[in-house]
């Protein structure tokens, strides 16, 4: 104890959320550099079942707070439980996957512990001399890259989705430690009353391996149906440019770029998006970029790995058919 | 109802940026500055609440150098009643936690407030930290990334709809509370000519750390638990664009899928 790197396990419906495994991968790297052990923190009633999966992916210990009042997420309850644990066990660093939940309570935890928080990191480092955690993160919507350091302990960091490889399943299993932290109902402010899920199970944009995006060239909301069909075949999430969102064709949750989301999928297929700077900053770090556009001179056609010149309303359905053919074989 | 709105002045989001050659930060020379877009959604929501209730006060609060007064005047021109500027060289270099601590002290002095809005993040450093940390320093609840908010009839609580992965979370918080604004909340208004004229006459108070009872160790670089070591241009992606053109749709699709499978190996 005292030389652990912690990972906060995020779970919903009894399932570990996939970005947690990426955070665990990042924590294992950091622990390797710091000569520390990795422990996972599980907050929530009956969530102890996650311990096996966390152990399999390299956590040596799982600190579990099994508390009725943590059954449903609340910023107050989670902040209280995590900071009490941190005060008692003094980890070197606490790693979260950058998610809406982490953005909600990690800042509170940092403020309460009087320590620094580095959100949305793409690389973590350990300075042996000072014993400090450093990180690289994009600023100004990706127009610059900053190296930042936490001067205090524990350092709180969140990992950008897809920036770190998920932890390998080569762990020896974890020792589960039940931690006694009392959480009163009154401490659970900011409690989620309910989750309104969309009718269809959507692939989360920032976590998707493939993103199919549409822009002004889509011409209208109904026309996104051709992208939906392609996305269905590829198991992809649907994105949109600001032009398409501001026109009211797609909801803001699907906006890629500045004032929207940053995505780094393996494959990004941009349909009818010219590629304004404000869009590019949201997708430029995708592994492979495909652009489909009538205009061969559009900025995105020059940035793409594969630029297809033509009418998207003919090309996209043809692409859907071809993917169907080869993937079903 | 007294509502505070924390705003940050940031480089115009459409501007190209240069990094200083010594790696100490972004070169702000000659840049246009604006109110961070997410803060504008918070301000618009505050103004609408005041208009709906036909009573109350909206106060814009910002931390930063002298140029930030312009952002506060823009907030006043949109309709805020008064402004508070945390302006002192001692504040320079404050990270998100130190900023939240100073803002909390300023809100206590200029308040108390029933409701505090902030943007869900600033478009320059993208820390998405100040709002929730501010709530912690004030000892009040918060709700994050709010895209819709409804005040209860008795005005003692507010229900917030927030975007979360794969859906929407509904959170009800008791007032006073801090809410952070997400895009989609509203469409911010433009300042009218009359608003711009009136803004010149509205109160703009300037606070130093001493005014807020903060010591030199609690603000600026020394009050910040994190620090920026280096800022560099983003890594440039080298691309050799392969152009697929002058093919029938079916042939183009076939060729693209072949390349994605055999060359790029992503499918």
For an interface test with B, give the residue of A158, A189, A325 to mutate (most B CBs within 10 A).
A189
A315 vs B16, B233, B252: nearest CB: B252
Encode pLDDT of B35-61 as tens digits. Answer: 999 999 999 999 999 999 999 999 999
pLDDT at B236: 84
- Strands (DSSP E) contained in B126-225 are 142-151, 157-164, 167-174, 177-181, 204-207
The nearest alpha carbon in chain B to A12 belongs to B165
Kind plus residue range of the DSSP H or E element containing B199: helix B193-199
| Percent of chain A at pLDDT exceeding 70 | 98
A119 vs B129, B145, B242: nearest CB: B129
- CA distances to A247, A257, A295, B14 from A241, in Å: 10, 7, 17, 15
Find all residues with CB under 8 Å of A92, minimum gap 6, and list them: A3, A4, A5, A34, A36, A131, A133, A153, A154, A155
Distance from CA of B195 to the nearest CA of A (A): 26
Encode pLDDT of A49-72 as tens digits. Answer: 899 999 999 999 999 999 999 999
Find all residues with CB under 8 Å of A52, minimum gap 6, and list them: A173, A174
Rounded average pLDDT over A129-135:
96
pLDDT at A136: 98
Can you tell me whether residue A126 is helix, strand or coil?
strand
Task: State ipTM.
Answer: 0.95
In the predicted model, residues of chain B with pLDDT beneath 70 are none
User: What does the mean pLDDT of chain B come to?
Assistant: 96
Residue B32 phi, psi dihedral angles, 5° rounding: -85, 140
pLDDT band (50, 70, 90) for residue A1: very low
Q: Is the model's pLDDT at A199 over the cut of 70?
A: no
Q: Is the model's pLDDT at A312 over the cut of 90?
A: yes
Selected residues 72-111 of chain B with any CB under 8 Å from a CB in chain A = 95-97, 100-101
Encode pLDDT of A213-249 as tens digits. Answer: 999 999 999 999 999 999 999 999 999 999 999 999 9
Encode pLDDT of A12-46 as tens digits. Answer: 888 899 999 999 999 999 999 999 999 999 999 87
Encode pLDDT of A246-277 as tens digits. Answer: 999 999 999 999 989 999 999 999 999 999 98
Q: Which of A299, A246, A232, A247 is nearest to A270 (CA)?
A: A299
Residue A179 phi, psi dihedral angles, 5° rounding: -110, 135
Contact B183 A255 (CB under 8 A): yes
Q: Is the model's pLDDT at A202 over the cut of 90?
A: no
Helix segments in chain A, DSSP class H: 18-34, 50-56, 75-89, 100-113, 225-234, 242-246, 277-283, 299-303, 312-327
Q: Is the model's pLDDT at A212 over the cut of 60?
A: yes
CB B175 within 8 A of CB B138: no
DSSP code string of B64-78: SSTTHHHHHHHHHHH
Is A146 touching B (CB cutoff 8 A)? yes
CB B182 within 8 A of CB B168: no
CB B27 within 8 A of CB B20: yes
Q: Which residues on A lie below 8 Å from B16 (Cβ)?
A: 143, 277
Question: CA B161 from chain center: how many Å?
Answer: 18
Find all residues with CB under 8 Å of B253, minimum gap 6, and list them: A315, A318, A319, A321, A322
Q: What's the predicted TM-score (pTM) here?
A: 0.94
pLDDT at A34: 96
Contact A116 B225 (CB under 8 A): yes
For an interface test with B, give the residue of A195, A258, A306 to mutate (most B CBs within 10 A).
A306
């Amino acid at each position: 104890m005292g030389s652990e790197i912690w990972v906060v396990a995020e779970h919903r419906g009894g399932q570990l959320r996939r970005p947690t495994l990426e955070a665990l991968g990042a924590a294992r790297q950091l622990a390797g550099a710091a000569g520390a052990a990795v422990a996972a923190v599980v907050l929530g009633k009956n969530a102890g079942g996650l311990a096996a999966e966390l152990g399999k992916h390299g956590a040596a210990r799982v600190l579990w707070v099994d508390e009725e009042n943590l059954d449903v997420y609340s910023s107050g309850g989670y902040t209280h439980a995590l900071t009490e644990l941190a005060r008692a066990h003094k980890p070197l660093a606490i790693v979260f996957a950058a998610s809406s939940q982490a953005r909600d309570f990690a800042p509170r935890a940092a403020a309460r512990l009087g320590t620094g928080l580095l959100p949305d990191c793409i690389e973590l480092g350990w300075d042996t001399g000072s014993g400090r955690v450093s990180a690289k993160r994009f600023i100004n919507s990706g127009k610059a890259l900053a190296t930042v350091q936490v001067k205090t302990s524990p350092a709180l960091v969140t990992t950008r989705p897809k920036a770190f490889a998920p932890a390998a399943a080569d762990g020896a299993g974890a020792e589960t430690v039940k931690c006694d932290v009392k959480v009163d109902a009154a401490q659970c402010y900011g409690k989620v009353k309910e989750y309104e899920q969309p009718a269809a199970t959507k692939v989360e944009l920032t976590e998707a391996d493939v993103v199919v995006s549409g822009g002004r060239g889509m011409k209208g909301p109904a026309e996104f149906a051709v992208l939906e069909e392609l996305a269905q075949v590829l198991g992809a999430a649907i994105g949109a440019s600001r032009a398409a969102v501001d026109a009211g064709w797609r909801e803001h949750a699907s906006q890629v770029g500045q004032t929207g989301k940053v995505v780094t999928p393996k494959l990004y297929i941009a349909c009818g998006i010219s590629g304004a700077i404000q869009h590019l900053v949201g997708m430029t770090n995708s592994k492979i970029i495909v652009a489909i556009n009538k205009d061969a001179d559009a900025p995105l056609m020059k940035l793409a790995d594969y630029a297809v010149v033509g009418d998207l309303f003919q090309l996209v359905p043809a692409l859907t058919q071809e993917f169907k053919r080869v993937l079903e074989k | 109802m007294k509502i505070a709105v924390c705003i940050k002045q940031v480089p115009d989001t459409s501007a190209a940026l240069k990094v200083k050659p010594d790696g100490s930060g972004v070169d702000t020379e000659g840049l246009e500055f604006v109110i961070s877009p997410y803060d504008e959604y918070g301000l618009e929501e505050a103004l609408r609440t005041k208009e709906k209730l036909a009573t109350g006060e909206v106060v814009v609060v910002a931390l930063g150098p002298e140029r930030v007064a312009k952002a506060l005047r823009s907030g006043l021109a949109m309709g805020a009643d008064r402004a508070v500027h945390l302006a002192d060289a001692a504040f320079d270099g404050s990270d998100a936690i130190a900023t939240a601590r100073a803002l909390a002290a300023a809100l206590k002095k200029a308040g108390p407030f029933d409701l505090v809005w902030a943007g869900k993040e600033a478009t320059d450093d993208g820390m998405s930290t100040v709002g929730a940390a501010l709530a912690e320093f004030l000892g009040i609840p918060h709700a994050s990334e709010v895209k819709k908010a409804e005040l209860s009839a008795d005005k003692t609580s507010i229900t917030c709809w927030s975007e979360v992965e794969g859906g929407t979370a509904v959170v009800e918080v008791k007032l006073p509370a801090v809410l952070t604004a997400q895009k989609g909340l509203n469409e911010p208004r433009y300042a009218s000519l009359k608003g711009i004229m009136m803004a010149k006459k509205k109160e703009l108070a300037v606070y130093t750390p001493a005014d807020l009872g903060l010591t030199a160790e609690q603000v600026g670089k020394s009050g910040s638990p994190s620090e920026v070591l280096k800022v560099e241009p983003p890594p440039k992606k080298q691309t050799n664009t392969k152009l697929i053109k002058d093919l029938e749709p079916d042939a183009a699709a076939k060729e693209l899928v072949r390349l994605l499978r055999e060359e790029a190996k992503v499918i």
